[in-house]
Amino acid sequence: MTAASAFWLDYLRDCKIDQPLPLPCDRHRISDQYRTGRGTRTTFNFGQDLSRAFLTHASTNNTIPEHLALASYFVFLFKLTNGEKDLCIGINTDGRCKTELVSVIGMFANAIPLRCQLNPSWSFARVIEEVHQMAVDTSTYSYFPLQRILAQHPLVSKPAFLDTSFQFYATSTQSTVKEVVLGGASLCLVPYSIQIGPDEIPHQLCSMRSLCAGGDTVSSKLVERIKTIVNSDCLIWNAYGPAETTIFSTCHRINQTDLKSMIPIGRPLPNYRCLIHDEFEQPVFVGQAGELLIGGVGVFVGYLNRDDLTSKVLVEVNGFKYYWTGDLVRMDSSGLIFYVGRKDNQVKIHGQRIEIGEIERCLLDSHISGCVAVKYGDDHLVAYVQGSDISEEDLRTHCRARLPPFMIPSIFVVLNNLPLNANGKVDRKRLPSPDFYSLGDSIGNIYNSPSTEMEERVHGLWCEILKVPEKKISTTATFFTIGGHSLLFIKLYHLYQSLFSFDSRSLTITPFLQQATIVEHAKLLEGIRHADKQLKAWQSLHITEGIASFPQERIYLDEQVRFSNRTVVYNEFKAFTITTGSLSVEHRSSFRTFFDDFCIAYNADKPLEIGNNSLQYIDYSTHERLVDMTKSGDFWRAELDGYNFEKHLSLPVDRCRSKTDQRSSAAYSARFSLNSDLSKSFLAYASSHNVTPFQLGLATFYVLLFKLSNGEIDLCISCVDANRYRPEIEDFVGMFIATLPYRVQIDPSRSFDHLVEQVRDKCLSILEHTHYPLQRILADSHKQQVNINFLDISFDFVNFLPAASQLNCDGAIMEPLVPDQWNETAKFDFMLTFQYDTFLEDKTISCFLVCSRDLYNEATVVKIARRFEYLLFQVFSPTYAKNGNNRSEVPLTRLTLILQEEAAEIEMMNF
């Protein structure tokens, strides 16, 4: 034992093993007093989530749970003793230093000292490394008797390190006979066809205690079948792992809740690590699908004689080796990993990345024996189903309850048998072509031809949009059952607006969505045409002087009252440059009208002729003051009844402005763009929930304010309305914009879907009262325009209209220009603007946050913009929504502004 003796002598050199740690005792024991053996005990439970996080942290740091607990204990003692750096405690060891002693019954336990010399500047990860190395070193000589260790220190009468001890108990239930692995030797999982009959070794299955399913995806249907056979106490596990990482890498115990949705593959096993990266090899958000990388002790060395293939699948990340699995997964907020499918089995439709396997797994949960889903053309998903006793409508209902709208197949083809190739796999080349033209008939609609002139026009537009031959669309068939989708519907609505000359104020998209047949659309369009005829038109008053309009009066007062006299806020200078034969302009309502007239005059080479009876802006300013606004005044008084105009939202400002300070209009701004998938998901949500993009964007802004203000529920902000409420001023050049208060009282316990409905109803109620001027709203409430809280915060949604490519100024073609940088003038303290150009190729939505420099630093503005971007991801990311985060069920309090890196920091601090 010479080596052991030398080790312990060196290990405890300069250690004051006779001095007890300065722990916060309630009383002291005198030196010659014996111990009574009595003690006080307290226990606490980590709980399931913290326990899982603890084990995951141990695996991530390449240590065992015992060493992680020991490191935590040393840190605890360091804090408890007010920074004692040289910590020495006692620990009991097994003492079976020889393998021959493992099965021998007897007394072998030994007590040894564990010494940790902490450096306060170390990170917790460094502490884990030191404790791990210390535990490994001392375990080598743990058999050396305690009395011989103490004999090396003859001057020590009482070893104080024995006063403080540490023990770690790990228990497990092992079964060698009654544990079966599905996917191994006993039972083999065959994709889509696994069947466990009642006559399959029932005497063994009924006594099974633990069952581990691996080798392929496990469906809820299969688990339900297994649960009817095995004992009710049997534990069913879902394990995952490619051969390249040595059998299993993750595992999850299946519970009853899992059967209601997708069954997760769990969390990494001890000594394994999992990363999820996107196509750019960057970590993904929570809930976002990405490719799984597995690292840890089981990762293989490489493929034999295939260095080229090995180099593609093995990668080093932060000093650790990882294997690219090629499997798409996503992780929820609790750390559970869900298998999505193979990376090479994705399709993209309307900007949405869709995993075909997920659709097929959903269909297999119904009463069918087989199915295959395919992409057909650029716009459609087709599901081929094997079965005889199921209808297309049943399948569609089943999918609607489990899949987001963009993943529901356009058509279901029911076959008696799926065509197979020689290997027994589905032969996709032999699948029959779907008949989209018969979709109307397949759900019970017979062909009905148009019966009126309006129905004829609408029928022709549907055929044009859907690219379907005439006499194939019944006037009673709904748009979405004959191959239509949300983006085509928006295009159809815009076409209606163009041909029948109405705007969303006169007739929103909502009734068209609610009554999506040719007959109903024709009735709606007839109604708007007749309503226009009953409206008494404004005529020219032939005057040359008049009072300013309400909008002109409002911005003048605003500029004089809220801003410094040295600041020109509402004069926006625009530079136009003609280069290489093209003129680029920013599209706004007045701009478009102006340039239409400009091109006509330019091409004709003579002034534009304007009739003497043409309505002028001065006529508008006079007519609007003659409008009876009594009803609107009553509406706004009721709308703001009980509202506190002087209580400002507690937003995260960097400094405050006094009540007497005027605004400087200087601003900091931040901009980000939603990717194509999120933009399409945003628009698809708006369409499927019968709301406009403005209303949906406004709802997300309310959520942001609710979170930033620490739960303020009575939210009132200002929104800019075009206010072209008369057909005479639709294409008029002039100032019509109204700034109005939009007040919503949020219920945090309700879902985001509920808030969207609330915002939609609010916007619709305001719609017919937008002409009531802001100055009158404030006057009715006996308020002045200075220091009104809802004028601090503003929201806008800018839709850039189609490019007017037919406007040609003698060879100079007008094209839309989306500004690279937003106007950095702070008309409000906190303003968010959505920007969407429907005719840009990528069709992405951009967001601009402009904040006053009087209150905010640039870094704060950028951080808030990042938080809002993450909030939009939570709400509109299809993968996040499918991962147990149903917008119709999850309360607003579950949404978070904590960024991923901040969440990781918080998690690190917990350890």
Q: What is the pLDDT of residue 862?
A: 93
Percentage with pLDDT > 70 across the chain = 76
Both tokens assigned to 668:
């900091």
CATH of the domain at 734: 3.30.559.30
Domain-embedded: residue 172: no
Total structural domains within the chain? 4
| Domain final position from 107, 133, 166 | 166
Measured between alpha carbons, how far is 374 from 361 in angstroms, rounded to an integer?
13
**Between 437 and 435, residue with greater pLDDT:** 435
Measured between alpha carbons, how far is 518 from 844 in angstroms, rounded to an integer?
30
Say yes or no: 430 and 464 in one domain. Answer: no
Please calculate the CA angle 791-795-796 and round it to the nearest 5 degrees.
130
Say yes or no: 890 and 768 in one domain. Answer: yes
**Between 489 and 450, residue with greater pLDDT:** 450
CA 610 to chain centroid, in Å, comes to 53
Domain-embedded: residue 263: no
Q: What is the pLDDT of residue 741?
A: 93
Measured between alpha carbons, how far is 221 from 217 in angstroms, rounded to an integer?
12
Say yes or no: 496 and 591 in one domain. Answer: no
What are the angstrom distances between the C-alpha of 415 and each of 356, 359, 375, 386, 400? 19, 17, 18, 5, 21
- CB burial of residue 700 (10 Å; 0-12, 13-18, 19+): buried
Say yes or no: 683 and 762 in one domain. Answer: yes
The residues, any chain, with a CB within 8 Å of residue 259's CB and separated by 6 or more, are 220, 223, 224
Highest mean pLDDT among 593-607, 626-640, 715-729: 626-640
- pLDDT tens digits for range 705-760: 999 998 899 999 999 887 776 767 766 777 778 889 999 999 988 889 899 989 98
CATH of the domain at 423: 3.30.300.30
Q: Are 685 and 848 in contact (CB under 8 A)?
A: no
Res 583 pLDDT > 50: no
CATH of the domain at 525: 1.10.1200.10
Res 92 pLDDT > 70: yes
**Interval 586-611 mean pLDDT:** 65
The mean of the pLDDT values for the chain is 78
Strand partners, 885: none
Q: Which of 701, 683, 692 is closest to 842 using CA atoms?
A: 683
Q: Which of 220-224, 863-867, 872-876 has the lowest mean pLDDT?
A: 220-224
- pLDDT tens digits for range 654-675: 888 766 566 777 889 999 988 8
Domain-embedded: residue 713: yes
SS3 readout for 676-715: HHHHHHHHHHHHHCCCCHHHHHHHHHHHHHHHHCCCCCEE
Domain-embedded: residue 469: yes
Highest mean pLDDT among 41-50, 120-129, 204-213: 120-129
Both tokens assigned to 660:
């007497």
**Between 625 and 882, residue with greater pLDDT:** 625
Domain-embedded: residue 446: no
Say yes or no: 428 and 567 in one domain. Answer: no
Measured between alpha carbons, how far is 326 from 273 in angstroms, rounded to an integer?
16
**Interval 482-490 mean pLDDT:** 65
DSSP string, 850-906: EEETTT--HHHHHHHHHHHHHHHHHHH-HHHHHTT--TTTSBGGG-----HHHHHHH
Say yes or no: 840 and 752 in one domain. Answer: yes
| Domain final position from 136, 166, 196 | 166
Q: What is the pLDDT of residue 269?
A: 92
Say yes or no: 145 and 105 in one domain. Answer: yes
Say yes or no: 490 and 417 in one domain. Answer: no
DSSP 8-state secondary structure symbol assigned to residue 432:
P
Dihedral sign computed on CA atoms, order 587, 588, 590, 593: positive
Q: Are 295 and 322 in contact (CB under 8 A)?
A: yes
Both tokens assigned to 655:
């400094």
Strand partners, 331: 337
Domain-embedded: residue 245: no
| Domain final position from 140, 166, 192 | 166
Q: Which of 194-208, 338-352, 377-391, 600-614 has the lowest mean pLDDT?
A: 194-208
Say yes or no: 479 and 621 in one domain. Answer: no
Say yes or no: 510 and 425 in one domain. Answer: no
Q: Are 672 and 869 in contact (CB under 8 A)?
A: yes
Domain-embedded: residue 295: no
Res 169 pLDDT > 70: yes
Measured between alpha carbons, how far is 153 from 133 in angstroms, rounded to an integer?
24
Res 601 pLDDT > 90: no
Percentage with pLDDT > 90 across the chain = 15
Both tokens assigned to 897:
């502004």
- State which residues form the domain around 522: 453-534
- pLDDT tens digits for range 227-269: 888 888 888 999 999 889 987 899 999 988 888 778 999 999 9
Q: Are 507 and 532 in contact (CB under 8 A)?
A: no
Say yes or no: 525 and 615 in one domain. Answer: no
- 880: number of Cβ within 10 Å: 22
Domain-embedded: residue 334: no
Confidence at 176, pLDDT banded by 50, 70, 90: very low
CA 517 to chain centroid, in Å, comes to 33
Residue at 833: amino acid letter: T
Q: Which of 472, 442, 461 is closest to 512 using CA atoms?
A: 461
Measured between alpha carbons, how far is 231 from 209 in angstroms, rounded to an integer?
7
Confidence at 505, pLDDT banded by 50, 70, 90: low
Say yes or no: 383 and 474 in one domain. Answer: no
Res 575 pLDDT > 90: no
